[in-house]
A and B are shown apart, each in its own frame.
Chain A
Amino acid sequence: MSAEPVRLARRPDGAALVIAAILAGIAAVIVWQTSQMRVPPIQARIGPTVFPYIIAAGLGLLSIGTVVSAFRRGFPPREDDNFIPIAWIIGGLVAQLLTLGWAGFSIGTGILFAFTAKAFGRGPLWQTIPLGVVFAFAVWFIFAKGLQLSLPMGPLERLVP
C-alpha cells in the first residue's frame, strides 16, 4: 500500500491487528449468516447470496492487507485522545436512549444536552440538566405541536393539552 520498506524488526501496530481481526470477524459472520439462508428455486440468476459472499471475500482480503500494514507501521500516528469527554457523551446518548420511553423527549434529551455540555467542560449538571430540559421542551413543542412530528411523550409533554 505504501512505498515504505518493510521493517519487520519493529513491533507491529497492535490496534491495527485488532482492526484486522474485527474485519475478519465481520467477514466470518457474513459467510455464516449467508450460508444459513434458504435460497428460493428461481432459475438462471445471481441469487441473494452472491453479493454477501463477494463482500465477505473483500473484507477477508482487506483484513490481510491490514495485518501487512500493521507490521509495516502503515497507519498514521494517533493523537493522544482524552477519553473522559467521550464517556460523558456516550453516557448522555445511552441515558437518553433509556429514558425517552418513559420520561419523554424533553427529559431524556435534556440529559443528553447536559452530558454533552459536561464533556466540553461546562457544568455543573444540576444547572445544565434543567437548562437542557427547557431547551428540549421548546424543541419538542415546535416539532411535535407545531409540525406534528411524532416524538415520545412523558410527564412533561402530557402537561401540554
Chain B
Amino acid sequence: MDTFGLLAEGLLAALQLQNLIYALIGVTLGTAVGVLPGIGPALTVALLLPVTYRLDPAGSLIMFAGIYYGGMYGGSTTSILLNTPGESASIVTALEGNKMARKGRGGPALATAAIGSFIAGLIATLALAFVAPWVVKFALAFGPAEYFALMVLAFITVSAAFGDSALRGLTALFIGLGLGIIGIDLQTGQARLSFGIPDLLDGIEVTTLAVALFAIGETLKIAADRALAKEEVLAVKGSIWMTKDDWKRSWIPWLRGSAIGFPIGAMPAGGADVASFLSYSAERTFAKRPEEFGHGAIEGVAGPEAANNASAAGTLVPLLTLGLPTTATAAIMLAGFQQFGLQPGPLLFTNNASLVWALIASLLVANFMLIVLNLPLIGLWVKLLTIPRPWLYGGILVFATLGTLGANGAMSGRLGPISFSFELLLLLAFGILGYLLRRFGYPIAPVVVGLILGPMAEQQLRRALAISQGDPMILVHSPIAITLYVVAAAAVLLPLYLRLRGRGDVLGQLASDED
C-alpha cells in the first residue's frame, strides 16, 4: 500500500468515537499537568505514560499522542501569563509572551501560541510521515564539527535576548556557562567544580535552573514590588482574540518556526530549546518592527512556539527511524513504544507499518483535539490572572517545588539529624539569584541558554578535535559547517546593515528637512 493509503487507514482507525475520546482524555490530562508551573513535558509524559498502558495498543497510542502534544503545549500557558516556564523550550516564549500579557494582551499571545503550535504540529507531523527518511540522512550528516558550527550560530543568536546592555547580557551568559562546567566531564570522567559534593557530579539540571530563575525569581520580585502590591490584578484589556494585524504578523513566523523547528528537532543533538532560540533570533532579525522586541512583539511568541512544537514532532524522526531517543521525553517515549509492541529502528516502517501509521494518524488527531480544546479555554486561562496573588503565587511555589522533587527527589543533603533535598536547596539558591538578576537589570534567559549551549559546544568541539587528532581544519571540513558559519556571520552583519540603512533613511529625511 502506498503512503497515502496507509495514512488514510490509520486516520480511519483513529477517528473512531472511542479513539477520539481517548485522544480527548490524553490531550486534557497532558495539558492539565503540563500547564502546572514547574512541570515540563518530560515529567508530564513520564507521569502519564503508565495511564495509557491499560488500554489496547491503538487506544494507548492515541492517548499517548494526546499526552505528548498536550504536555508540549501546556507549558506555554504559564510562560505567557505568569512568566514561569516549566522547561527550557518555553523560556523564549516567556520573553515576549509575558510582556504581551502585562499589557493586557495575554489572550492574543495564547491564541498565537495555540494556533502556531497547531500549524507547526500539522506541518511537522506530515513531514514526519512523508520525508522522515531524507531528514534523518541530513541529521546524520551532522558530526561534532557541524554541531559545533550550529552552536556558534546559536551563541550569536543569544545576543537577541540580551536586552538593552551588552555588558549585563554577556555577564548573564557567562554565569550560565560557568554553571555549565559543574559536574563530571563526559570525555574524561573527571569531576569539575563539584567541591566534593556528589549531587553536583551530574551537573546542574536545566529544569531546576529555569524553574528557579523564572518561577521563584519572578515571585520574589513581584512580592517585593511596592507598586504592584497595591495595584489590583492586571485585567485582560480588549479582545482576548487575535486582531487582523496579529494574524498578519503571525502567519509567517508560524511557518518559519516550523521550518526551523522540525529539522533541528530531528538532529540527534538538537532539541526544542535550541530550535526556539534560533527561531526567536530569526524573527527579531526579519521583524518589520524590531524595536517592539523585548516589549511584547507577537512574532516573538508565534515563531518560537511553532518551532518548539515542530521540533517535538522532529524528535520522533530519529526515534522512529533509528530507535534513537534524543531528549529526555523521547527516552521515556521509547520505553512506552516498546510496551505498545513498536520496536523503533530502520525496520520499523516495514515491520510495523500499520502501528506506525496509526501513531502518525494519532498525532494528527491529537494535534487537532488540542486546538479544539485550547482555543475555547483561552478565556479560562486568562482568568488564572484573576486568582488573588497570595493563592496564585503560593500555588506556583507548591508546583515548582513539586516538579523539582518529582524529577530528583533524593533526600541526599544532611544538616545534623535532618535530611533534606539537595535539588531543592539549589532551587532556593537559584531563585535568589533570579531575584538579584532582576533587581540589577540583568536579563534572565541568557543564563539558561549558557547552561544549555555551553556544555554542548564544549563537548562537540572536543569530540571534533579528538577525532581529527588535534587538526583544527576539521571544523571547516564540510559544506554544512561552512554554511552554518556563513549564516552566523550574516546573523551579526544583517541587523547592522539593516539598522545602518534605516538610520541612513532617517538622516536623509533630516537632511531634506533642513532644506
Tell whether any CB of A sits under 8 Å from a CB of B in the complex: yes
Residues of A within 8 A of B171 (CB): 23, 59, 62, 65-66
The answer to whether A113 and B187 touch across the interface, beta carbons within 8 angstroms, is no
Decide yes or no: A33 and B195 within 8 Å by CB, A51-B458, A151-B402 being known contacts: yes
Q: Is A143 a contact of B47 with CB atoms below 8 Å?
A: yes
Whether A124 is near chain B, meaning CB under 8 Å from some CB there, is no
* 0/1 interface trace, chain B 145-179, chain A, CB 8 Å (1 if under): 00000000000000000000111001100110110
- Interface 9-mer from B98-106, B277-285, B370-378, B387-395: B387-395
Which of the residues A74, A79, A132 comes within 8 Å of B167, measured between beta carbons? Answer: A74
Tell me whether A47 and B398 are in contact (CB under 8 A): no
Q: Are B188 and A116 in contact (CB under 8 A)?
A: no
Q: Which residues from chain A contact B401 at a C-beta distance below 8 Å?
A: 93, 96, 109, 112
- CA–CA, A112 to B420, complex, Å? 15
Report yes or no: B220 in contact with A86, Cβ–Cβ below 8 A: yes
Chain B residues with CB below 8 A from A79, complex form: 225-227, 439
Which residue among A86, A92, A136, A143 has the maximum number of chain B CB atoms within 10 Å of its CB? A143
Q: Which residue of A lies closest to B219 (CB)?
A: A89
Residues of A with C-beta under 8 A to B170: 58, 62
- Which A residues lie within 8 Å of B226 (CB)? 79-82
Complex Cα distance, B460 from A45, in Å, reads 12
B224 at the interface (CB under 8 A from A): yes
Over the window 87-103 of chain A, the binary record of Cβ atoms lying under 8 Å from chain B Cβ atoms (1 yes, 0 no) is 01110111011101110
Chain A stretch 103-153: residues in CB contact (< 8 A) with chain B: 105, 109, 112-114, 116-122, 132, 135-136, 139, 143, 147-152
Check B418–A98 contact: CB distance below 8 A: yes
For the complex, count residues of A whose C-beta is within 8 A of B: 77
Q: Do A78 and B439 touch across chains, with their CB atoms under 8 A apart?
A: yes
Consensus secondary structure, chain B interface: helix
Asked whether A52 lies within 8 Å of B181 as measured between CB atoms, the reply is yes
**Which residues of B are found within 8 Å of A47, using beta-carbon distances?**
188
Partner of B192 from the list A34, A86, A148 (CB cut-off 8 Å) is: A34
Chain B interface size, as a band, is 35 or more
Q: Give A118 to B409 CA distance when docked, in angstroms.
A: 27
Asked whether any CB of chain B lies closer than 8 Å to the CB of A8, the reply is no
- Which residues of chain A are near B390, meaning CB under 8 Å? 116-122
Measured between beta carbons, the chain B residues less than 8 angstroms from A94 are 428
Taking the closest CB of chain B, its distance from the CB of A77, in whole angstroms, is 9
Interface presence of B441 (CB below 8 A) = yes
- On whether the beta carbons of A102 and B418 are closer than 8 Å, the reply is yes
B478 to chain A, nearest CB (A): 20
CA distance A116 to B401 in the complex (A): 13
State A112–B427 Cα separation when bound (angstroms). 14
Residue B223 at the A interface, CB < 8 A?
yes
Q: Which residues of A contact B470 (CB under 8 A)?
A: 43-45
Bound CA span A26–B394, Å: 33
Residue B466 at the chain A interface, CB threshold 8 Å: yes
Report which of B167, B409, B440, B441 forms a contact with A65, defined as CB distance below 8 A: B167
Cross-interface CB contact of A46 among B388, B391, B465, cutoff 8 Å: B465
CA of A42 to CA of B391, assembled, Å:
56
A40 near B190: Cβ-Cβ < 8 Å: yes
Contact between chains at A112 and B397 (CB < 8 Å): yes
In the complex the two chains form, what is the Cα distance from A132 to B165 in whole Å? 41
**Which of B175, B177, B224, B395 has a CB less than 8 Å from the CB of A81?**
B224
**Whole-angstrom CA separation of A121 from B439 in the bound complex:** 21
* Contact residue among B165, B177, B402, B432 (Cβ-Cβ distance under 8 Å from A109): B402
Residues of A within 8 A of B165 (CB): 1-2, 74
In the bound complex, do residue A45 and residue B466 qualify as a contact, i.e. CB atoms below 8 Å apart? Answer: yes
Which residues of B lie under 8 Å from residue A80 when comparing CB positions? Answer: 226
Given A75-B440, A109-B401, do A143 and B406 touch, yes or no (CB 8 Å)? yes
Could you say which of A29, A42, A80, A100 has the most chain B C-beta atoms within 10 Å of its C-beta?
A100
Question: Shortest distance in angstroms between B161's beta carbon and chain A's nearest beta carbon?
Answer: 17
Residues of A within 8 A of B224 (CB): 81-83, 85-86
- Which chain A residues lie closer than 8 Å to B458 at the CB level? 51
- Closest Cβ of chain A: how far from B293's Cβ, in Å? 18
Of the residues A19, A93, A120, A132, contact of B431 by C-beta under 8 Å: A93
Query: Counting CB contacts under 8 A, is B343 at the interface?
Result: no
A-B contact pairs, 18 of them (CB 8 A): A52-B181, A62-B167, A62-B174, A79-B225, A82-B225, A85-B223, A89-B219, A93-B431, A101-B419, A102-B419, A116-B390, A120-B390, A135-B398, A147-B47, A149-B47, A149-B406, A150-B409, A151-B402
Given contacts A26-B175, A40-B190, A82-B224, 6 further A-B contacts (CB under 8 A): A30-B193, A51-B458, A79-B225, A98-B418, A113-B394, A149-B47
